[in-house]
Amino acid sequence: MGGVERRANPPWSFTALARRAAGPLAWLAVGYTLFLVYYTHHPRPPLPAGAAAAGDKTLHFLAYGALAGFSGLAVAARGGWTWRVAARLVAFLAAFAVVDEATQPLFSRHADPLDWGFDCIGLAVGAAVVTAGVAVVRWWRESHARAE
């Protein structure tokens, strides 16, 4: 037959492993989102001002960075991860963060626009880490494909 022969990916190839991991990664992202909603809405005693306030912003940054990371990994494992996909994911999750922050007063929590700002910074960093990881994996796969 004319043309280029394409080999199927063996079951241990990165592509095959990533596709198999996509479902569990999606469930991890969903589970983490549910945990985040519970944690951000569960009534708690007020935090002391000062140093603890900086710690709260750090927690917002880390929590939403992890959300973008888990969600980004779930999407990237299915293939087709680009900066455009990352931007859409960050925009969607930033909208989710607004709703999350805005509904906290309904549960005796305090809504703070600065919290949302740190949520968004965390989302951007989490998506950037996934994007960098995908770029490294693509580079590695291409460099090893050329070596064969």
Q: Is 66 part of any domain?
A: yes
Model pLDDT for residues 8-17, shown as the tens digit of each residue: 555 556 667 7
User: Residues with Cβ < 8 Å from 63, sequence gap 6 or more?
Assistant: 36, 39, 119, 122
Q: Is 3 part of any domain?
A: no
What is the residue range of 100's domain? 14-41+50-147
Mean pLDDT of 74-101: 94
Q: Is 70 part of any domain?
A: yes
Q: Is 81 part of any domain?
A: yes
Q: Is 119 part of any domain?
A: yes
- Catalogue the long-range contacts made by 119-122 (C-beta closer than 8 Å, 24 or more residues apart): 119/60, 119/61, 119/63, 119/64, 119/94, 120/64, 120/90, 120/94, 121/61, 122/60, 122/61, 122/62, 122/63, 122/64, 122/65, 122/66, 122/67, 122/68
Q: Is 109 part of any domain?
A: yes
Q: Is 8 part of any domain?
A: no
Instruction: Please report, rounded to a whole number, the percentage of residues in the chain having pLDDT higher than 70.
Output: 78
Counting the structural domains of the chain, the total is 1
Q: Is 1 part of any domain?
A: no
